[in-house]
Amino acid sequence: MSGMYEGAIQDLIDALGRLPGIGPKSAQRIAFHILQSDSEVASALVDSIRVVKERVKFCVLCGNVSEEDECRICRDPRRDNTTICVVEESKDVIAIERTREFRGKYHVLGGAISPIDGIGPEQLRIRELMVRLADAGIVEVILATDPNLEGEATATYLSRLIKPMDIKVSRLASGLPVGGDLEYADEVTLGRAFEGRRDV
C-alpha cells in the first residue's frame, strides 16, 4: 500500500500503522477520519498524546502509572499496608480494582520473566519489591501475574525469594471462568479446576 498517497497522508498512515493492533487498512481508515473530521478531533488527540508524554510517569513506590511521584493508590491512607498484590502491568491494577475485592497495595513488575524476549529478573521491578518487603510490616504477598508460562515462571521465582522472609505468599486461583461453559474450557484450565476443587 505504500507510496500511493501523497506525502503527509501517507506519513500519518505509516505512523498509525506502527501502533499495536492497527493494520494498514485501519490505519488508512483512521487517517481519513482525522483528515475529514473537525479540527477539534485532531487537536484533542494531539493534546492528549502530548500531555501523557509530559505528565504521566510511574509511581516511585509501586511502579503504577501516575501523574504524581506516588500514585493514587499508594497515597490512599485507607488502603491496607500489610498486603501487596504483585502484577505485571498497570492495566492489571485496573482490572483488579474493578473487582473491588482487594483493599491492599500493589506492585507493578513491568512485565514477566521471559528468557526468549531477553527479560530476566533484573529487567523487572523485583529489587524494588524486595526493598518494600524488607521495610514494612507486610503480612501477605498475592502473586497476580498472568496465568501463562511467563507469569507462572515469574510467580515461582518470586515465591522462592519471598517465602524465606516469613511472609505469606499466595497465588490467584485458576479454574473455570464464571459464566463460561464447561465443555468449552481447555484441558489445562479444566485440570486446574479439578486440582483446586473445594468442599461444599
- Residues of this chain that interact with a second copy (CB under 8 A) are 1, 4-9, 11-12, 14-16, 18-22, 26, 28-35, 39, 41-46, 48-53, 55-56, 65-67, 71-72, 89-91, 94, 97-98
3-state secondary structure of 14: helix
Closer residue to a second copy (CB): 99 or 135: 99
Helices H, strands E: what count in the chain?
Answer: 8, 6
Closer residue to a second copy (CB): 92 or 171: 92
Closer residue to a second copy (CB): 30 or 153: 30
Which is nearest to 97 in space by CA: 150, 157, 105?
105
Closer residue to a second copy (CB): 45 or 188: 45
Other beta carbons within 10 angstroms of residue 156's beta carbon come to 14
The single-letter code of the amino acid at 125 is R
In the complex, what is the shortest distance from the CB of residue 1 to a second copy, in angstroms, rounded to a whole number? 8
In the complex, what is the shortest distance from the CB of residue 173 to a second copy, in angstroms, rounded to a whole number? 23
What is the full DSSP assignment across 104-173? SEEEE-SS--BGGGTB-GGGTTHHHHHHHHHHS---EEEE---SSHHHHHHHHHHHHHHGGGT-EEEEPP
In the complex, what is the shortest distance from the CB of residue 148 to a second copy, in angstroms, rounded to a whole number? 17
In the complex, what is the shortest distance from the CB of residue 157 to a second copy, in angstroms, rounded to a whole number? 23
